[in-house]
Amino acid sequence: MNRTDRLYALVEELRACAPRRVSARELAARYEVSVRTVERDIGALQQAGVPIFADVGRAGGYTLDPSRTLPPLNFTPAEAVAVAIMLGRAGGTPFSRAARTALHKIVTAMPEADGATARELAGRIRFLTDPASSEPASVPAVLEEAMSARRVVRIAYVDVAGAETVRDVEPLAFTGASRGWYLIGWCRLRGTFRVFRIDRVRRAALLDEAAPERRLEEFDEAPRDFVMRPLEFV
């Protein structure tokens, strides 16, 4: 059993046993791996957002919160791959990390046969990417957290002329266009609203300060050739 299949199997095993706790030793014996391997696999699943809880001690073990898991989904393999394609294009966006964990949850919740077929089909999809792209992977994640937590973020930003400045920014919104993704925020360095291209943010650090409440309607600097529309859940 390869690691991907084992991760899927671990989640299904914990879901089937919930709310009973299953020890690492039990799981290791079942999948014929070491206890350390099980612990690493569980850690990887937890980092991906799977709600696995651990209790230490003789009666301890791992359990899955059934109220926060997805039941088996009725995605066809082709539908799952279609979702994966769209999420795969989230690289470099503020939600690229969340896209990866969302895809993992979808595939994990699919019936085993459909999940295997979807992974095989996904193996025949290829993206063309720019090898010169040097955007730090941590930057979008920090900006996502700043937006979600409504906290001030300190960024090192390179403008079109190549000059770098350090600014404290109150995040207001993200906007996407054909050229990439942008952060709209109140720039304390300039004392006004500014639009920052995310791929020009070289470093980003979350500050402890909560961002003051500001209304997106106050921002009126959208390009005249574009209409800004909200993301809709349908």
Round to whole Å and give the CA distance between 231 and 214. 19
Interior CA angle at 184 toward 179 and 186, to 5°? 150
Amino acid 136: pLDDT: 58
Round to whole Å and give the CA distance between 169 and 12. 43
Beta-carbon contacts of residue 113 (< 8 Å; ≥ 6 apart): none
- 115, burial (CB in 10 Å: exposed 0-12, middle 13-18, buried 19+): buried
Round to whole Å and give the CA distance between 35 and 39. 6
pTM (2 d.p.): 0.58
What digits encode the pLDDT tens for the residues 183-225? 999 999 999 999 999 989 999 999 999 999 888 777 766 555 5
Token pair recorded at residue 97: 């990390």
pLDDT at 177 over 70: yes
pLDDT top residue among 97 and 76: 76
Beta-carbon contacts of residue 23 (< 8 Å; ≥ 6 apart): 60, 61, 62
All CATH 2.30.30.520 domain ranges in the chain, comma separated: 138-213
> Among all chains, which residue has been given the structure tokens 């993206």?
127
Q: Do 89 and 102 contact (CB within 8 A), yes or no? A: no
pLDDT top residue among 234 and 97: 97
Q: Do 176 and 93 contact (CB within 8 A), yes or no? A: yes
Backbone torsion region of residue 32, taken as left when φ is above 0, otherwise alpha when ψ lies between -120 and 50, otherwise beta:
left
pLDDT at 137 over 80: no
Residue 176: pLDDT band (50, 70, 90) is confident
**Residues 158-164: what's their mean pLDDT?**
93
What digits encode the pLDDT tens for the residues 8-42? 788 878 877 777 889 999 999 988 899 999 999 99
| CA 76, 79, 85, 91 torsion-angle sign | negative
> Among all chains, which residue has been given the structure tokens 């010169």?
132
Domain with residues 3-68, CATH architecture: Orthogonal Bundle (1.10)
Q: Do 10 and 27 contact (CB within 8 A), yes or no? A: yes
All CATH 1.10.10.10 domain ranges in the chain, comma separated: 3-68
Q: Which CATH class is domain 138-213?
A: mainly beta
Give the type of residue at 46.
Q
